[in-house]
Amino acid sequence: MSSFAVPHSSSSTSRLSKRKRQLEEDENNSDGPDDQPTSRDASDEDNTDTLFPAASTSLSLSKEEIMPTAKRQRHLGAFVSSTSEEESDANAVVALPDGIEEQYGFKINPPPIGRPVRIYCDGIYDLFHFGHSKALEQAKKAFPNVYLLVGVCNDTETHKRKGKTVMTDLERYEAVRHCKWVDEVVPDAPWFVDQEFLDSHQIDYVAHDAEPYQSKESGDVYAFVKDQGRFFPTERTDGISTSDLITRIVRDYDAYLRRNLERGVTAKELNISFLKERKIKTKKSIQDLRKTIKTAINDTMLLWEDKSHEFIRGFSGVFGAEDVVDKLWKYRNRNKLMSDNSVDSSRASSRIQSEDEDEDGNE
């Protein structure tokens, strides 16, 4: 048995040492490039380029291929749709509204193609109201793609030619600037549009209502652009204007004075005298007292009517005639109601007639 023990031990040792060397070689091989980290920071990309240049080149070339197909289609779809919309806007047929030249009786140049149509509106725009907005809306919607410029005259020019305004020029600039149809406000706008102004702002059309706008110097301040075919007509909105708003205030002057005095505005701020202030307040007190007395009288009369109705009904009940009294009472109340309505309508008609007569006298 001992003769076989030594060879067996020697062979086992050799196998163990061989296995150990193999494990060491495996450990050394495991420290190679295959086990490097796979993060995408700059240092790792440099190492990858150095060790595997061919693989790096293929990755950079196939970046779009790595992107998911659905995502790439969404990107391409958005690009294609935006491009098609731009091309359709550029290639859209832009033309004047049908029959507009025959309707207004003057020539209008065809609009430019391939760019926004630059339209210019001008005015004072005092007490900016929906009539102004609708005129600007017409100009903005005249063609599919319009850049709308709005010129607002300053106080100096306006007060000299048209009279005092309620709003200052800075207030009027801001009022127009906040209209959603306006792309650009031109402050200190000239009263007359000339060729230099048209060229400096690259204006294709000047938009305004077609009625001649007279001044001291000309029968129509827009005659120049009409002759060039660069005038685009818009329609006025009936029933609303700055003059109409001011007329309403002046017509009910005392009512608005009383309104502001009740809200704490002083007589000095309203530019009225002390006597005028006392007169307005006294008039208001008399009206309130008259209304109170009238209400008290009406309440008393209704109370006595109810009591008299109860007394008469109780007396007629002795003879069994309650139903007859009730019918007579209902008939009386119905006739009274009809007469009250007729009186109110006659008063309203007489008031309207007197106002019309006053307006005719003022004219």
Q: What is the pLDDT of residues 107-150, one digit of tens each?
A: 999 999 999 999 999 999 999 999 999 999 999 999 999 999 99
Three-state DSSP class for 361? helix
- SS3 for 193-261 is CCHHHHHHCCCCEEEEECCCCCCCCCCCCCHHHHHCCCEEEECCCCCCCHHHHHHHHHHCHHHHHHHHH
The kind and range of the H/E element at 148 are strand 146-152
Three-state DSSP class for 113? coil
100-239, CATH topology level: Rossmann fold (3.40.50)
pLDDT cut 90: percent of the chain above it = 38
What value does the mean pLDDT of the chain take? 75
Q: What is the C-alpha separation between 87 and 212, in angstroms, rounded?
A: 40
Q: What is the C-alpha separation between 189 and 122, in angstroms, rounded?
A: 7
Give residue 60's identity as a one-letter amino acid code.
S
- The pair of three-digit structure tokens given for residue 337, joined into one six-digit string: 């109601």
Three-state DSSP class for 176? helix
Q: What is the pLDDT of residues 325-362, one digit of tens each?
A: 666 667 666 766 666 666 566 655 555 555 555 545 44
The reported pLDDT for the residue numbered 16 is 59
Three-state DSSP class for 67? coil
123: exposed, middle or buried (C-beta count within 10 Å: 0-12, 13-18, 19+)? Answer: buried
Statement: residue 209 has pLDDT above 90: yes
Q: What is the C-alpha separation between 120 and 97, in angstroms, rounded?
A: 18
The reported pLDDT for the residue numbered 101 is 86
Statement: residue 320 has pLDDT above 70: no
Given pLDDT bands bounded at 50, 70 and 90, which one contains residue 164?
A: very high
Angle separating helix axes 53-61 and 42-51, nearest 10 degrees: 120
Residues with Cβ within 8 Å of 11's Cβ and at least 6 positions away in sequence, in order, are none
Tell which residue, 232, 212, 237, 235, has the closest CA to residue 118.
232
For the segment 45-62, the average pLDDT, to the nearest whole number, is 41
Higher pLDDT, 184 or 281: 184
Three-state DSSP class for 149? strand
- The pair of three-digit structure tokens given for residue 158, joined into one six-digit string: 């306006």
Statement: residue 244 has pLDDT above 60: yes
The domain spans of the chain are: 100-239
Q: What is the pLDDT of residues 282-319, one digit of tens each?
A: 887 787 788 888 888 888 877 777 777 666 666 666 66
What is the value of pTM for the model shown?
Answer: 0.57
Q: What is the C-alpha separation between 79 and 120, in angstroms, rounded?
A: 34
